[in-house]
Amino acid sequence: MTLLDALLRCVAVLAVFLVFPLVIGQTEHKVMAHMQGRLGPMYAGGFHGWAQLVADGVKFAQKEDVVPAEADRRVFQLAPAVALLPYLVVLIAIPVGPHGLVGQAVDAGLFFVLAVMGVGVLGSLMAGWASANKFSLLGGIRTAAQLMSYELPMLLAAASVAMAAGTLSLSGIVDAFHWWWVPWQVVGGFVFFTAGLAELQRPPFDMPVADSEIIFGAYTEYTGLRFALFLLSEYAGILVLCALTTVLFLGGWHGPFSDGLGWLWTLLKTFALAFVVIWLRVTYPRLREDQLMRFAWTVLIPLSLAQLALTGVVKVVIS
Amino acid sequence: MEATQAPRTVGRLAQWAAASADGPARDGGYFDAYAAVGLLAVVGVLFVTVAFTANRLMRPVVPTPEKLLAYECGVDPVGEGWAQTHIRYYVYAFLYVIFAVDAIYLFPWATVFAAPGYGAGTLVEMFVFIGFLAVGLLYAWKKGVLAWT
Q: What is the per-residue DSSP string for B43-85?
A: HHHHHHHHHHHHHHHHS-----HHHHS--TTSSPP-S-SS---
Contact, B54 vs A60, CB < 8 A?
Answer: no
Q: Pick A133's closest partner by Cβ from B25, B81, B134.
A: B81
pLDDT reported for residue B4 = 45
| Straight-line distance from the first to the last Cα atom of chain A, in angstroms, rounded to the nearest whole number | 44
**Confidence (pLDDT) at B6:** 46
* Neighbouring residues of A262: CB distance < 8 A, sequence distance ≥ 6: A96, A97, A98, A101, A252, A253, A254, A255
pLDDT tens digits, A97-134: 787 777 777 888 888 998 898 888 888 889 988 888 88
Helices and strands (DSSP H and E) totals, chain A: 13, 0
Residue A81's H or E segment, with its range, is helix A73-91
Q: Is B39 on the interface with A (CB under 8 A)?
A: yes
pLDDT tens digits, one per residue of B87-144: 767 777 777 887 888 788 888 888 887 777 777 788 888 888 888 878 888 888 888 7
Q: How many CB atoms lie within 10 A of CB B30?
A: 11
Quote the domain boundaries for residue A295.
25-36+49-314
Tell me if the bond preceding A68 is cis, omega within 30° of 0. no
Instruction: Please check whether residue A20 lies inside any domain of the structure.
Output: no
Establish if A4 belongs to a structural domain. no
Which among A89, A148, A302 is the nearest to B37, CB-wise? Answer: A89
pTM for this prediction: 0.85
The closest alpha carbon to B134, from A296, A192, A187, A306, belongs to A306
Q: A166, B114: Cβ pair inside 8 Å?
A: yes
Task: Decide if B67 touches A, using CB distance below 8 A.
Answer: yes
Query: Residue A97: what are its φ and ψ, rounded to 5°?
Result: -145, 175
Q: How far apart are CA A170 and CA A162, in angstroms?
A: 9
- pLDDT recorded at residue B14: 44
- State whether A312 and B123 contact (CB < 8 Å): yes
Task: Write the residue in B68, B85, B92 that is nearest to A138 by C-beta.
Answer: B85
pLDDT band per the 50, 70, 90 thresholds, residue B32:
confident
Axis-axis angle for helices A73-91, A109-130 (nearest 10): 160
| Per-residue confidence (pLDDT) for residue B28, from 0 to 100 | 54
Q: With contacts defined as CB-CB under 8 Å, which chain B residues touch A71?
A: 70, 81
- Spell out which residues of chain B touch residue A151, defining contact as CB-CB under 8 Å: 96, 100
Alpha carbon A25 to chain centroid, angstroms? 13
Nearest to A53 by CA among A96, A75, A10, A24: A24
* Domain chopping of chain B, boundaries: 2-68, 90-142
Q: CB of B64 within 8 Å of any CB in chain A?
A: no
pLDDT at B50: 92
| Domain-embedded: residue A19 | no
Taking all residues of chain B, what is their mean pLDDT, rounded to a whole number? Answer: 74
Distance CA A151, CA A281 (A): 21
What 3-state DSSP class applies to A101? Answer: strand
User: Is the confidence metric ipTM above 0.85 for this complex?
Assistant: no
The answer to whether A9 faces chain B, any CB pair under 8 Å, is yes
Whether A105 contacts chain B with CB within 8 A: yes
Mean pLDDT on B1-11: 45
8 Å CB contact of B81 and A70: yes
pLDDT score of B40 more than 70 = yes
**pLDDT value of position A243:** 93
Number of domains in chain A: 1
* Count of A-B CB contacts under 8 Å: 223
Angle at CA of residue B103, ends A218 and B143, nearest 5°: 75
Q: Which residue of B has its CA nearest to A112?
A: B34
pLDDT value for A24: 93
Name the band, by pLDDT with cuts 50, 70 and 90, for residue B15.
very low
| Identity of residue A16 | V
Please list the ranges in chain A whose pLDDT falls under 50: 1
